[in-house]
Chains A and B, each alone.
Chain A
Amino acid sequence: MILWIFLGLITLILLGMPASFSLGIVSLVYLSINGINLSMIAQSMSRGVNSFTMLAIPFFFLAGELMNTSGVTKRIIAMSKVMVGHLKGGLAQANIVASIIFAGISGSATADTAALGSVLIPAMEKEGYDKDFAAAITVASSIVGPIIPPSITLVIYGIVAQQPIGKLLVAGLIPGLLVGLSLIIYTYFYAKKKDYPSHPRATFPEVKTAFSKGISALVMPLIIIGGVMSGIFTPTESAAMAVLYGFIVGFFLYKNITIHNFFGTLKSVGLASVNTLFILSTATIFSWVMTMARVPDYVVDLMFEISTNNIVLTGLLVVVLLIVGLFMLPSQALIVLTPIFVPVAIKIGIDPIHFGIIMVLTLVFGGCTPPVGMMLYVASDISDLPFAKLVKAILPMYIPIVIAIILVTFFPQISLFLPNLLF
């Protein structure tokens, strides 16, 4: 029966059925077959989103969008250039650093690719970089978006796995920086090989100007992380304060946000958030079904039949997540797999906070791999580059990212050092 639940779910998803309805329909069929009263479905669905914590999802979306509308992207790029532009392949390095800074205002990798790619890919091409490399590095560096706080995917994990959101957000900081660093090292050697240009080292007045113009982008992550770490705000409240900050910056400081486009942003962000929230709503029925069918226990037994070695089992989990990430969007995969994999992870001694970082990192990596890699489609569209050419260019960049994933997986302190220190 358990096998049929999953086969049914995977088939529906692969046939294009929305994840939310796939979860609902599979659960409905299971409940009907087992003669369980269906009257609890509506209650389960409303309970699924009856959560103050869940509000962090639309707020993080909105804060990122407001900052983006404010025109902060170009200021971030200018700041990144004065920081690393003097290195070999300066603009490519600036692209990676800009992704890291952008990750601090937006929790979405696709938003990162779209916002930075539209400016940096043509700029890099103009400086003599190969277009496919420019697009590929934009995509690869964007995966830090959902790892460095604020992270919508980590909030989803926290809700589904019932783990503290504040701890998770802080735990994502060092792994996100590690992924960025691995790409900086790769780019340095690749740029040397291809003799890509570097900029003259920025003078102090240039650094001062770039930072004074771009400081607004650095304040947002400070509000979020600082608010949560100090205990002043809950994660949801810190996300709401980030929205307030984004509005003040865009409306009063840069004056790019008007009442009209603010209402438009509310509409688009509201609906984008609802997309995730509705999946979480139907996933509540699915979680109920899985608990009744004792699926987590079954998976734990199955895994221990394969091996009793914790390292092998951890590696196996990562491989499964990487494969799933090829075919499913991170939010979908998190909602379906978290309730199953977290008990397994706990059983083999992985801290659930650490496991959240592993899950998000591996699943987000799927965003830059075919066939579902959303960021690849975005970058291919922006750069007007054939999809296959972009995939070929990004292939070598998987090596530093996979090395970073392995390090994060097998060295828990990379994720747990900060939360253990601060909470």
Chain B
Amino acid sequence: MKIRTEERDHAKYFRNIVAVIFLFITILTIAQVGFRFVLNKPLVWSEELVRFLLIWMTMLGAAVISYDDRHLSVQSLVDVLPSTPKFILYTLRQIAIVAFSAILIATSTEMIKISHLDASGALHIPFSFWRVAPCVGAFFIIIFTVIRYFKDLKSFKEGKYGKTKEDIQL
């Protein structure tokens, strides 16, 4: 996990989207409690909407984390490697992530089409809108993983790869 503050942030808008979704989720959940206890009028739709938003926040957020290269991973063994084998391993890792994401998109289309015929109970959101979220997330994971890779390739060629300050993961 590295801090890369000096470069252009391609995922800036996605970060804001994640924050806005998170804000909505928080307000809706607090409102749900308020409506039930203060107004004595439980909201029947809020929990469903919150779950729907959580799926989208997770999948879009996963793409941002791919850009930041901050997915939770064990780096202690990899960190002891010299720069070149470490970068080769990193290259293979990024290829595997892109391949997994591409397979996820390619294999899920049919099921998403079928699930469009059915909808959720309270808000009548078609189930395809729920199930397409991992595919949209995977699409942006591919894009951000590739952008990240070319940025790191540049650093590697300049002899700077792996020399950034270690991040602190809370």
In the assembled complex, B116 has its CB within 8 A of some CB on chain A: no
Excluding A42-B132, A42-B134, A266-B19, 10 further A-B contacts by CB distance (< 8 Å) are: A18-B71, A41-B134, A46-B59, A46-B131, A55-B50, A237-B29, A240-B33, A263-B19, A266-B23, A328-B74
Size of the A side of the interface (Cβ < 8 Å), in residues, is 68
Quote the shortest CB–CB distance from B107 to chain A (angstroms): 4
> Does B107 contact A17, Cβ atoms closer than 8 Å?
no
Interface code B51-71, partner A: CB below 8 Å = 1, 0 otherwise? Answer: 100110111011011001011
> Does B135 contact A42, Cβ atoms closer than 8 Å?
yes
In the assembled complex, A274 has its CB within 8 A of some CB on chain B: yes
Select from chain B the residue with minimum beta-carbon distance to A272.
B170
> Does A275 contact B77, Cβ atoms closer than 8 Å?
no
* B contact face: mostly helix, strand, loop, or mixed: helix
Question: Beyond A17-B96, A377-B166, is A277–B19 a contact (Cβ under 8 Å)?
Answer: no
Size of the B side of the interface (Cβ < 8 Å), in residues, is 60
**Which residues of chain A are near B7, meaning CB under 8 Å?**
none
Interface positions, chain B 131-170, Cβ under 8 Å from A, are 131-135, 166, 168-170
> Does A39 contact B110, Cβ atoms closer than 8 Å?
yes
In the assembled complex, A401 has its CB within 8 A of some CB on chain B: no
In the assembled complex, A244 has its CB within 8 A of some CB on chain B: yes
> Does A52 contact B50, Cβ atoms closer than 8 Å?
yes
| Chain A-chain B contacts (Cβ-Cβ < 8 Å), number | 193
Select from chain A the residue with minimum beta-carbon distance to B18.
A270
> Does A59 contact B103, Cβ atoms closer than 8 Å?
no
**Which residues of chain A are near B57, meaning CB under 8 Å?**
270, 274, 277
**Which residues of chain B are near A281, meaning CB under 8 Å?**
58-59, 62, 134
**Which residues of chain B are near A111, meaning CB under 8 Å?**
170
Stretch at the interface among A20-28, A307-315, A389-397, A407-415: A20-28
**Which residues of chain B are near A232, meaning CB under 8 Å?**
37
Question: Beyond A237-B29, A274-B62, is A28–B18 a contact (Cβ under 8 Å)?
Answer: no
Most interface-central of B70, B135, B169 (chain A CB within 10 A): B169
